[in-house]
Amino acid sequence: MSKYFLASLNSFFIVFFAYFVFLSIISWQESMELLDTGGLNIDIGSYLYLPLGAYAFCWVIYKKWSLPGQLLISILMSFYWKLDSSIFALFAIINVFGPVMAVSIFRVLEVYKFKDFKSETTLAILFLCIVLALLNSLSKFFVYFMTENKITSAFDFLATYLPGDIVGSFVFIIFATFMMKIFHLGQY
């Protein structure tokens, strides 16, 4: 029982760390007025959404034992962002189970023999991040569309979500894999 609790707790803190860094970067950019969006509404998405990579990373490393910790942090972050009740639960489910579906699709398609991050190439991780981003971005777009929440435009929404999900998940997964190799953590 303690092995499962520890995996869930580790997942919680890994995703919490990703959210903390993500929010710190956004706060720093806003305070330094470094954010030039070129007319895009940056409030919709971010160009460096690290938590998506953290969710996928935890799923690959801890498998199903990571789900309780990931679901808890996703619910807490939904409270933090004050999401309205029509999208609250859906976003929490998409955050947790979107990466599960993406990794499963990636494995089923057998584009690469994907088992863990230790044996994967950068290209395989990038392709996984693209699948993650597509699932996450399109799922959240349809949630907004179906619940009739305000979206400035489909282009603005997808133009901020897709690059942010791809870049953020790629950066987080590469960073986390690098740190695990350096410190000989887990199965490395």
Residue pLDDT, tens place only, 10-69: 999 999 999 998 888 777 766 665 555 444 444 455 668 889 999 999 998 888 999 999
Residue 89's pLDDT is 87
Alpha-carbon distance of 119 to 92, in angstroms, equals 30
Highest mean pLDDT (candidates 10-24, 44-58, 79-93, 152-166): 10-24
Alpha-carbon distance of 188 to 185, in angstroms, equals 6
pTM: 0.86
CA distances from 89 to 59, 78, 93 (A): 20, 8, 6
Residues 6 or more apart whose CB falls under 8 angstroms from that of 150 comprise none
